[in-house]
Protein backbone atom coordinates (compact mmCIF):
# COMPACT_ATOMS: atom_id res chain seq x y z
CA UNK A 1 0.00 0.00 0.00
CA UNK A 2 1.54 3.31 -1.05
CA UNK A 3 0.98 6.18 1.37
CA UNK A 4 1.88 9.78 2.13
CA UNK A 5 2.75 8.83 5.72
CA UNK A 6 5.97 10.36 7.03
CA UNK A 7 6.79 7.57 9.50
CA UNK A 8 6.34 3.81 9.65
CA UNK A 9 3.98 4.29 12.62
CA UNK A 10 1.73 6.59 10.55
CA UNK A 11 1.79 4.03 7.74
CA UNK A 12 0.65 1.25 10.07
CA UNK A 13 -2.14 3.43 11.46
CA UNK A 14 -3.57 3.74 7.93
CA UNK A 15 -3.88 -0.03 7.42
CA UNK A 16 -7.42 -1.35 7.71
CA UNK A 17 -8.32 -3.16 10.91
CA UNK A 18 -8.74 -6.52 9.19
CA UNK A 19 -5.14 -6.42 7.92
CA UNK A 20 -3.36 -4.57 10.75
CA UNK A 21 -2.72 -7.62 12.99
CA UNK A 22 -1.11 -9.64 10.19
CA UNK A 23 0.94 -6.63 9.08
CA UNK A 24 2.10 -5.98 12.65
CA UNK A 25 3.28 -9.60 12.94
CA UNK A 26 5.16 -9.36 9.64
CA UNK A 27 6.77 -6.03 10.62
CA UNK A 28 7.78 -7.32 14.07
CA UNK A 29 9.36 -10.42 12.50
CA UNK A 30 11.33 -8.30 10.04
CA UNK A 31 12.53 -5.88 12.74
CA UNK A 32 13.60 -8.74 15.03
CA UNK A 33 15.70 -10.26 12.24
CA UNK A 34 17.23 -7.23 10.55
CA UNK A 35 21.01 -7.46 10.28
CA UNK A 36 23.05 -4.90 12.19
CA UNK A 37 23.19 -1.55 10.42
CA UNK A 38 19.77 -1.75 8.74
CA UNK A 39 17.04 0.71 9.64
CA UNK A 40 13.34 0.96 8.93
CA UNK A 41 12.22 4.07 7.04
CA UNK A 42 9.62 5.40 4.65
CA UNK A 43 10.60 5.32 0.97
CA UNK A 44 8.43 5.71 -2.14
CA UNK A 45 5.32 5.77 0.06
CA UNK A 46 6.06 2.40 1.71
CA UNK A 47 8.07 1.04 4.62
CA UNK A 48 11.55 0.02 3.54
CA UNK A 49 14.68 -1.31 5.18
CA UNK A 50 18.00 0.29 4.32
CA UNK A 51 21.61 0.48 5.41
CA UNK A 52 22.47 3.98 6.59
CA UNK A 53 26.18 4.76 6.73
pLDDT in tens, 1-51: 789 999 999 999 999 999 999 999 999 999 999 999 999 999 999 999 999
- Whether residue 27 is contained in a domain is answered as yes
What's the chain's average pLDDT? 93
- What is the reported pLDDT for 16? 95
What is the domain extent for residue 28? 8-51
- Whether residue 2 is contained in a domain is answered as no
- What is the reported pLDDT for 46? 94
Number of domains observed in the structure of the chain: 1
- Please say whether the beta carbons of 38 and 51 come within 8 A: yes
* CB hemisphere CA count around 17 (13 angstroms): 0
Which one has a higher pLDDT value, 37 or 53? Answer: 37
- Whether residue 3 is contained in a domain is answered as no
Report the C-alpha gap between 8 and 26 in whole angstroms: 13
Amino acid sequence: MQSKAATPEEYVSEITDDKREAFALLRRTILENLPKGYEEEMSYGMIGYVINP
